[in-house]
């Protein structure tokens, strides 16, 4: 058997000749950062591709979260999920905001709206949900709650690139959404990210904030930061954008193959496509029921690893288990039973556009005994 390592993810890379031709143009122009031609072009191309009104490009997916909280002047307490990548909660911490964790809905892995409502206090100013694995949150219920209590909603949509619900972009929900274009994501600019907003004025404000707050040569409109994407990454991103549809379709076929092979495996469960939701193939998590499967999640995870099939325990541990956050009242395990159960049973299988039939087969064979 071929024992080459099968990685959990693999970046979408532009053709080197194409990239070189773009680099030549950047070199000729000598404009390498600060809202150059490629930056503007990629913002426009992404807005069109994603079906959203405004995009502001960032150097990564964490800074738009931090900047969104700053721009909306969020303070006090923000209700969020422990079942995410640490950056979600770190963004709150960097703004001096107290994260309040609530439990998830095991049907999706997303924040449970009933739990959100129960956690609201007079100090609550916003909700920061995550579309986990790109599965859309219950955006309608979350908005109803936010409207009733006068709260802002910022979605960490790092996993939801291109995801649509009944033809409409999930990124149009809430006050703002943020994306990550890190190398491990469906669409990448090596490092990169974006903020999605509905309003031209907010787009202007964010564009100032990501450039130290400069509104013009002599005016600072607020405590800005430096988080603007450079021209080289924007040019790279214009090239990977051309490939992303076929990459998502390749991921779709991987998901179909995994589901067909694993549906009858006792003790292994996974998500099916949600009705009306498209382009949602950023991850393929499976959940291991130790008793029914006869092996624990970690036993299976390390067995896969011994066969050079690299999964990822994503998300494990929960954010609320890290020492930075463990002391919070809302981080107590008894407050978050569903999130703990998911974190203790999940393995994300290899999922990317470059998996071969043989890779998929080897992954499946590790799981089917």
Instruction: List residues binding ligand PLP (CB under 6 A).
Output: 60-62, 84-85, 87-88, 130, 156, 158-159, 180, 182, 193
Min dist CB 328 to ligand PLP, Å, is 19
Name the residue nearer to ligand PLP (CB basis): 174 or 193: 193
CB 204: neighbour CB atoms within 10 A? Answer: 15
d(CA 298, CA 199): 46
Tokens of 126: 């916003």
Burial class (CB in 10 A: 0-12, 13-18, 19+), 323: exposed
Q: Rounded to an integer, what distance in angstroms lies between the CA atom of residue 340 and that of residue 87?
A: 19
Q: Which residue number, 84 or 124, has a Cβ lying nearer to ligand PLP? A: 84
**Distance (Å, whole) CA 35 – CA 26:** 13
Cα distances (Å, whole numbers) of residue 175 to 145, 172, 200, 309, 315: 14, 8, 13, 40, 26
CB of 33: closest distance to ligand PLP in angstroms? 18
Closest approach of ligand PLP to the CB of residue 88, in Å = 5
CB nearer ligand PLP, residue 189 or residue 367: 189
Tokens of 245: 């549809």
Least spacing, CB of residue 219 vs ligand PLP, in Å? 29
Question: 336 near 318, Cβ under 8 Å?
Answer: yes
For ligand PLP, which residue has the nearest CB?
Answer: 61
Smallest gap, in angstroms, from Cβ of residue 342 to ligand PLP?
15
Closest separation in Å from C-beta 305 to ligand PLP: 22
Provide the b/e sequence for 142-169 (b: ≥16 CB within 10 Å): bbebbeeeebbbbbbbbbbbbbbbeeeb
DSSP, res 317: S
- CB-nearer residue toward ligand PLP: 178 or 345: 178
In contact, 362 and 6? CB cutoff 8 Å: yes
Q: CB of residue 363 vs ligand PLP: minimum separation in angstroms?
A: 21
Cβ-based nearer residue to ligand PLP, 90 or 353 = 90
Q: How far is the CB of 3 from ligand PLP (least distance, A)?
A: 29
Q: How far apart are the first and last CA of the chain?
A: 16
Can you give 48-101 as a three-state secondary structure string?
Answer: HHHCCCEEEEECCCCHHHHHHHHHCCCCCEEEECCCCCCHHHHHHHHCCCEEEE
Taking the least distance from each CB to ligand PLP, the nearer of 6 and 194 is 194
Between residues 61 and 224, which has the closer beta carbon with respect to ligand PLP?
Answer: 61
Name the residue nearer to ligand PLP (CB basis): 158 or 255: 158
């Amino acid at each position: 058997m071929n024992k080459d390592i099968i990685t959990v993810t693999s970046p979408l890379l532009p053709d080197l000749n194409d990239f070189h031709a773009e680099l030549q143009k950047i070199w000729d122009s000598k404009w390498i950062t600060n809202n150059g031609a490629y930056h503007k072009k990629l913002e426009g191309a992404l807005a069109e591709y994603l079906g959203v009104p405004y995009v502001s490009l960032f150097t990564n997916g964490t800074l738009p979260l931090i900047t969104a909280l700053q721009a909306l002047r969020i303070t006090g307490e923000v209700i969020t999920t422990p079942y995410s990548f640490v950056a979600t909660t770190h963004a709150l911490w960097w703004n001096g905001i107290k994260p309040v964790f609530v439990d998830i809905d095991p049907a999706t892995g997303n924040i449970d709206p009933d739990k959100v409502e129960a956690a609201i206090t007079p100090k609550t100013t916003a909700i920061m949900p995550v579309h986990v694995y790109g599965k859309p949150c219950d955006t309608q219920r979350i908005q109803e709650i936010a409207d009733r209590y006068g709260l802002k909603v910022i979605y960490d949509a790092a996993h939801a690139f291109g995801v649509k619900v009944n033809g409409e972009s999930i990124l149009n929900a809430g006050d703002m959404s943020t994306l990550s274009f890190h190398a491990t994501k469906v669409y990448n600019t090596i490092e990169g990210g974006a903020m999605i907003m509905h309003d031209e004025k907010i787009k202007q404000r964010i564009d100032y904030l990501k450039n130290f707050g400069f509104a013009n040569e002599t005016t600072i409109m607020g405590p800005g930061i430096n988080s603007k994407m450079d021209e080289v990454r924007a040019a790279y991103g214009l090239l990977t954008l051309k490939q992303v549809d076929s990459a998502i379709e390749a991921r779709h076929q991987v998901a179909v193959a995994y589901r067909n092979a694993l549906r009858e495996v006792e003790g292994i469960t996974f998500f099916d496509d949600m009705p009306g939701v498209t382009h949602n193939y950023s991850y393929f998590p499976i959940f291991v029921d130790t008793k029914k499967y006869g092996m624990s999640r970690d036993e299976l995870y390390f067995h896969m690893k011994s066969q050079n099939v690299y999964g990822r325990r994503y998300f494990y541990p929960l954010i609320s288990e890290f020492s930075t956050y463990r002391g919070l009242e809302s981080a107590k395990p008894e407050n978050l039973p569903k999130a703990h159960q998911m974190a203790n049973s999940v393995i994300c299988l290899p999922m990317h556009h470059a998996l071969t039939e043989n890779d998929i087969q080897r992954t499946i064979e590790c799981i089917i005994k």
